[in-house]
């Protein structure tokens, strides 16, 4: 029987519109046309100008035969064309595939083939890699190659584009009549996971998820109108955690940054009055450990967001010393970047730094517009006791979750088994509902039948004053099966020995959790600063043990 609330109450264009972040750009241009939108070197571009350029880009793509559900790949640093691509590509109905700029040609070629890219926009810095990737493709379908020109980099050593970005944009109609998607479930972006084995999986985002995560970013940070956002986080990583769309929602300023460098970051903060930035722990550590002379004149109250490893006390203390306000978030590519936040409480401010670090190290609670996040038993899907001790798997459900994996029905079904997205992260949940990761399921070390959390050992390592970065992996052991092996990157000038590190760990860990091997050196990292543990596992088997 039809409900009385459905009778003669139709859904029409007058009372319903699909959620999409594209409308944020249109509103920013209409309401604040003359407000600054993009800063890059000498470039100063308003929201009205940005809107026109994005419409021209969309028009030019349509004119080139690219439309609904066609993939447009981009290989760009954090520059204006990357900001524009986040709007211009989906305004044409196409799907944006932002490629990791540090990948090898073989991997890029796989992604171009798998995503069936019909066009590529490439920065001159990566023209050589892209040329090799295009040559390695299995598909013979033609690809439109558009090469960007950037005065801050210079011309490409080996131009590959059939057209330049500026001439391509100029060919488009500034009054192009783009449309919001009819269905908010339509794909807006394709992001490939950084898989450690086999081919990476293509994660498909929808317009609804992109919009709801962008709005959640505003809410979690209490982000004001016209915030000045510095692009330290790569926009190719989970679409910059959806912040290209978030900044548009607030008619803020995108301060572009071609590459991460402590001096450049501090100079940008001072010069442009930066109010917000996001970064992996390694970048925050870079700033904290920079010479004090670099930090002179920094404005107070800069809001910084960190994801990845939990921020150790030394990082929180260092950020506070600079006058920065640090927010800890957690998520994965499959949930648009951050989807939980360690929401801080006023009472925490009265606690000592050690206790604040313990509380802030938790992955926290769901984002505003995420429906639910819980720690569940991985097989039964029953909630684990909220005792801060019983481990289960972090699982999400709601709007901030991918459509699924492109051309991989089996992996999609497995990921969403039981009506939850399975993160693969093992965690506990506290009585206040806050979640804390204990490990990735693949990173748990099983020694003599006992489970050892690599994250727990790493937390202790970070408490050592000479440790800049640390990672712990399993080392094969004839007696115990596995034992912890610590890879440690020391601060400049440190004279610490492996034995010192072991002695430090003994003060804070049960004996069986203490690393049996310690290796000093620079840690292998992804382009987003994540430590590549799979590379360290390859080395651990040949590392000599220490008598603990």
pLDDT tens digits, 256-298: 999 999 999 999 999 999 999 999 888 898 999 999 999 999 9
Dig out the tokens for 458 from the structure.
Answer: 């790493």
% the chain with pLDDT above 90: 76
- Among candidate residues 90, 62, 96, the one with its CA nearest the CA of residue 76: 96
Residue 219: pLDDT over 80: yes
CB within 8 Å of 57: residues ≥ 6 apart? 84, 85, 87, 88, 89, 91, 92, 168, 169, 172
Only one residue has tokens 């093992």, namely: 426
pLDDT at 41 over 70: yes
Q: Using N-to-C axis directions, what is the helix angle for 80-91 and 47-63, rounded to 10°?
A: 60
Q: How confident is the model at residue 87 (pLDDT cuts 50, 70, 90)?
A: very high
Answer yes or no: is pLDDT of 547 > 70.
no
Distances (CA, A) of 363 to 310, 388, 508: 8, 13, 22
User: How large is the average pLDDT for residues 34-55?
Assistant: 98
Comparing 66 with 316, which gets the higher pLDDT?
Answer: 66
Look at the alpha carbons of 199, 65, 149, 231 in this order and tell me if their dihedral is positive or negative.
Answer: negative
pLDDT score of 449: 63
The pLDDT value recorded for residue 407 is 97
Q: Using 50, 70 and 90 to split pLDDT, how confident is the model at 548?
A: low
Asked whether the beta carbons of 213 and 339 are under 8 A apart, the reply is yes
Q: Cβ contacts of residue 290 below 8 Å, gap of 6+?
A: 262, 263, 266
pLDDT at 194 over 80: no
Q: Do residues 60 and 102 touch, judged by C-beta distance below 8 A?
A: no
First to last CA, the chain: 73
Nearest to residue 272, comparing CAs of 226, 339, 315?
Answer: 226
Task: Note the pLDDT of residue 531.
Answer: 86
Q: Which residue has the higher pLDDT, 510 or 135?
A: 135
Token look-up 């600063």 returns 529
- Residues facing 269 on adjacent strands: none
Closest to 173 measured CA to CA, from 92, 101, 284: 92
Could you tell me the two tokens for 237? 């990583």
**How far apart are the C-alpha atoms of 379 and 79, rounded to whole Å?**
44
Two tokens, residue 344: 């801080």
pLDDT at 484: 93
User: What are 516's two structure tokens?
Assistant: 């049996």
Q: Per-residue pLDDT averaged across 294-315, rounded?
A: 87
pLDDT at 50: 98
Q: For residue 517, list its beta bridge partners.
A: 485
**Nearest-angstrom CA–CA distance, 185 and 49:** 29
Instruction: Tell me if 80 sits within 8 A of 38, measured CB to CB.
Output: yes
156/298: higher pLDDT: 298
- For residue 66, is pLDDT > 60? yes
Place of tokens 């860990």: 509
pLDDT higher than 90, residue 35: yes
Round to whole Å and give the CA distance between 95 and 97.
6
What does DSSP assign to residue 139?
-
From CA 381, how far away is CA 392, in angstroms rounded? Answer: 9
SS3 540: helix
The H or E element containing residue 127 is helix 127-136
Q: How far, in Å, CA of 221 to CA of 163, rounded?
A: 40
Mean pLDDT of the region 352-375 = 91
pLDDT of 423: 93
Per DSSP bridges, beta strands 253-255 and 36-40 are: parallel
Spell out where 387-490 has E strands: 392-397, 404-405, 421-429, 435-440, 445-447, 450-452, 467-477, 481-490
Average pLDDT over residues 216-240: 96
Q: Between vectors from CA 359 to CA 357 and to CA 363, what angle results, nearest 5°?
A: 105
Q: In which band, very low, low, confident or very high, does the pLDDT at 306 lie, cut at 50, 70 and 90?
A: very high
Backbone angles phi, psi at 458, to 5 degrees: -65, -40
- Encoding tokens for residue 503? 């002695």
Give the position of tokens 């430590």.
531
Least confident span in 84-88, 435-439, 486-490: 435-439
Q: How far apart are CA 493 and CA 21, in angstroms?
A: 47
Q: Report yes or no: 72 and 95 within 8 Å, Cβ to Cβ.
A: yes
pLDDT at 441: 64
Beta bridge partners of 396: 373, 421
- Indicate if the pLDDT at residue 309 is higher than 70: no
Specify the pLDDT at position 395. Answer: 97
220, burial (CB in 10 Å: exposed 0-12, middle 13-18, buried 19+) = buried
Alpha-carbon separation of residue 282 from 81, 290, 539 (angstroms) = 26, 12, 22
Whether the per-residue pLDDT at 119 is higher than 60: the answer is yes
Say if residues 303 and 275 touch (Cβ distance below 8 Å).
Answer: yes
pLDDT value for 440: 67
Q: What average pLDDT does this structure show over 64-68?
A: 97
Reduced to 3 states (helix: H, G, I; strand: E, B; else coil), residue 267 is: helix
196 has pLDDT over 60: no
Residue 450 pLDDT > 80 = no
Residue 2 has pLDDT above 60, yes or no: yes
The pLDDT, as a whole number, for residue 89 is 98
Confidence tier at 253 by pLDDT (50, 70, 90): very high
Cα–Cα distances in angstroms (integers) from residue 497 to residues 513, 541, 545, in the given order: 19, 21, 14
pLDDT, position 282: 80
Q: What is the pLDDT of residue 501?
A: 95
Provide mean pLDDT across the span 247-258. Answer: 98
pLDDT reported for residue 386: 97
Q: Can you tell me the mean pLDDT for 20-26?
A: 98
Of the listed ranges 22-31, 88-97, 291-300, 533-542, the least confidently predicted one is 533-542
**Is the full-model pTM beyond 0.75?**
yes
Q: pLDDT value at position 197?
A: 47
Contact in structure between 518 and 540 (CB atoms under 8 Å): no
Average pLDDT of the chain to the nearest whole number: 92
The residue-averaged pLDDT of 123-140 equals 96
pLDDT at residue number 71: 98
């Amino acid at each position: 029987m039809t409900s009385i609330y459905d009778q003669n109450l139709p859904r029409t264009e007058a009372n319903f519109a699909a959620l999409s972040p594209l409308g944020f750009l249109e509103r920013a241009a209409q309401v604040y046309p003359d407000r600054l939108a993009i800063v890059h070197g000498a470039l100063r571009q308003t929201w009205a100008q940005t809107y026109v350029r994005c419409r021209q880009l969309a028009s030019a793509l349509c004119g080139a035969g690219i439309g609904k559900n066609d993939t447009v790949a981009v290989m760009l640093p954090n520059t204006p064309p990357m900001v524009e691509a986040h709007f211009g590509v989906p305004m044409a109905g196409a799907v944006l595939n932002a490629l990791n700029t540090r990948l090898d040609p073989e991997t890029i070629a796989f992604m171009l083939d798998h995503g069936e890219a019909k066009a590529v926009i490439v920065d001159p810095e990566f023209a050589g890699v892209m040329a090799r990737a295009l040559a390695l493709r299995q598909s013979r379908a033609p690809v439109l190659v558009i090469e960007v020109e950037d005065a801050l980099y210079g011309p490409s050593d080996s131009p590959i584009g059939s057209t330049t970005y500026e001439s391509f944009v100029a060919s488009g109609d500034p009054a192009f009549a783009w449309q919001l998607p009819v269905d908010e479930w339509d794909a807006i972006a394709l992001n490939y996971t950084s898989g450690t084995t086999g081919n990476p999986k293509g994660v498909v985002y929808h317009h609804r998820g992109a919009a709801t995560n962008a709005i959640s970013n505003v809410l979690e940070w209490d982000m004001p109108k016209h915030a000045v956002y510095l692009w330290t986080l790569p926009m190719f990583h989970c679409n910059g955690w959806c912040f290209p769309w978030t900044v548009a929602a607030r008619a803020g300023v995108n301060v572009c940054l071609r590459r991460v460098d402590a001096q450049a970051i501090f100079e940008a903060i001072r010069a442009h009055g930066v109010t917000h930035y996001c970064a992996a722990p390694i970048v925050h550590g870079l700033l904290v450990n920079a010479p004090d002379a670099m930090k002179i004149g920094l404005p107070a109250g800069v809001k910084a967001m960190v994801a990845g490893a939990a921020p150790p006390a030394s990082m929180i203390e260092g950020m506070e010393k600079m006058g920065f306000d640090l927010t800890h978030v957690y998520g994965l590519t499959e949930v648009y970047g951050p989807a939980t936040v360690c929401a801080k409480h006023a009472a925490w401010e009265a606690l000592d730094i050690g206790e604040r670090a313990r509380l802030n190290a938790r992955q926290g609670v769901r984002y505003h517009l995420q429906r639910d996040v819980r720690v569940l038993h991985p097989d039964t899907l029953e909630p684990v006791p909220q005792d801060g001790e019983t481990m289960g798997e972090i699982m999400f459900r709601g709007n901030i979750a991918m459509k699924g994996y492109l051309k991989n029905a089996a992996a999609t079904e497995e990921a969403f088994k039981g009506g939850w997205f399975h993160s693969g992260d093992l965690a506990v949940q506290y009585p206040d509902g806050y979640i804390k990761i204990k490990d990735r399921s693949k990173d748990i070390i099983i020694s003599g039948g006992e489970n050892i959390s690599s994250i727990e050992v790493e937390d202790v390592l970070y408490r050592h004053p000479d440790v800049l970065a640390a990672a712990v992996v399993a080392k094969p052991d004839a007696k115990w099966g596995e034992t912890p092996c610590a890879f440690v990157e020391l601060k400049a000038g440190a004279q610490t020995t492996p034995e010192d590190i072991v002695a430090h760990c003994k003060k804070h860990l049960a004996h069986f959790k203490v690393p049996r091997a310690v290796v000093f050196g620079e840690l292998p990292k992804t382009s987003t600063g994540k430590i590549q543990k799979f590379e360290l596992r390859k080395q651990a088997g040949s590392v000599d043990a220490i008598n603990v």
